[in-house]
Amino acid sequence: MRYVIPAPMLAKAVPQVPDAEGYLFEPKWDGFRVLAAWDGENVELGSRGAKPLTRYFPELVAALPEILPEPCLIDGEIVIPVGPSGAQRLDWEALSQRIHPAASRVATLSRETPALLIAFDLLARGDRDLQPEPFATRRMELVGLLGSVPPPVHVTRATADAGLARRWLADFEGAGLDGVMAKRLDAPYSPGKRTMGKIKHARTADVVALGYRVHKSGTGVGSLLVGLYDGDGMLRNVGGVSAFTDARRLALIDELEPLVQRNADGTPVGAETERSRFSGSKDVSFVPLRPERVLEVRYDQLEGMRFRHTVQFERWRPDRDARSCTFGQLDRVSAYDLADVLD
């Protein structure tokens, strides 16, 4: 038996915890989304962006066959806790460092900063496909199968109490979590569809680095140009990211060098230009990058197909595939009549 790992079910941003009946709420874990499969012989860790994670978390690969009661396919999150007992929190930087090309480094980090698997859905148990079942059934099966297994696997807590979920939204941020999930109890598992709700502390989006402009001082990266894929698969420029420190601007030049698009003679592809009616005589040329590197940014609103203001760098997302960065993930502000504002 070998499990076919589907695309994960996705979430769309909602403004608040819903008070309606029929929901189960969970903490929103800040880690690498993973579909973890153990078929009785082999462990496979598949990521949301279709990038295999198996080689980067050998401690989980070793542990799962030892502690899982039977073959299964788990939807969950890989996280890394840091800090002393009683004051632990999730550490995104430690998690990001695990995506490393050197096997020796991965092995060292697996001992120094071991990961946990937070399980929040069960897609298969033995030879039974649970995806068509309502979430209420899948949750019951998840707790029944994994509720008593030891670390590094944990079943996420959940509640049907919207008031408690709102307290989680406020309280759990101090532990490094970044929101609350709202899931319909009657919903089947829908691969690739945004059928869950996510309530986060701020609007964020995963975007693709398209290029950079040199800082006005003449050295270092002044700003990154970022893009999203539209419904036709076209990569659209949606804005820029700036406000880097002097040291970070210089470091980015070296970090982005492998992605610079070059001519046959090795020189950077030149004179790429992004014009706007506000640019005037300002130099708006940029160094184009291969669209491979993903970063998470904070933004306030989308206007048309661009961020209204310069967005803020949050973190690199080495677990994400660039093609998965689409407009569909964005929280679009509902239309509102200006006349009602002026009245």
Torsion sign across C-alpha atoms 24, 149, 115, 81 = positive
Instruction: CATH 3.30.470.30 in the chain: give the residue spans.
Output: 10-200
Question: 113 vs 46, 91, 119, CA distance in Å?
Answer: 20, 10, 19
Q: Residue 334: its pLDDT value, please?
A: 55
Q: Residue 339: its pLDDT value, please?
A: 37
**DSSP single-letter state for residue 173:** G
Q: Residue 270: its pLDDT value, please?
A: 60
Look up the CATH superfamily of 10-200.
DNA ligase/mRNA capping enzyme (3.30.470.30)
Mean pLDDT per 10-residue section of the chain, whose length is 343 residues: 91 90 95 96 87 94 98 97 84 92 96 96 97 98 97 95 93 86 98 93 89 90 94 94 89 93 76 41 72 92 80 92 91 51 37
Q: Residue 262: its pLDDT value, please?
A: 84
Catalytic residue among 12, 28, 193, 198: 28
| Tokens (6 digits) for 110 | 């697996």
- Of 52, 78, 49, 81, the closest CA to residue 64 belongs to 78
Helix axes 103-112, 58-67, angle to 10 degrees: 60
Neighbour-count burial of 30, counting CB atoms closer than 10 A to its CB (0-12 exposed, 13-18 middle, 19+ buried): buried
- Of 205, 154, 195, 157, the closest CA to residue 36 belongs to 154
**Number of Cβ atoms within 10 Å of the Cβ of 260:** 16
Q: Residue 115: its pLDDT value, please?
A: 97
On whether the 204-329 domain is CATH 2.40.50.140, my answer is: yes
Torsional class of 22: left (φ above 0), alpha (ψ -120 to 50), beta (otherwise): left
CA triple 29-34-40, angle to 5 deg:
130
Instruction: CATH 2.40.50.140 in the chain: give the residue spans.
Output: 204-329
282 is catalytic: no
pLDDT digits (tens, 9 = 90+) for 325-341: 999 888 665 554 433 53
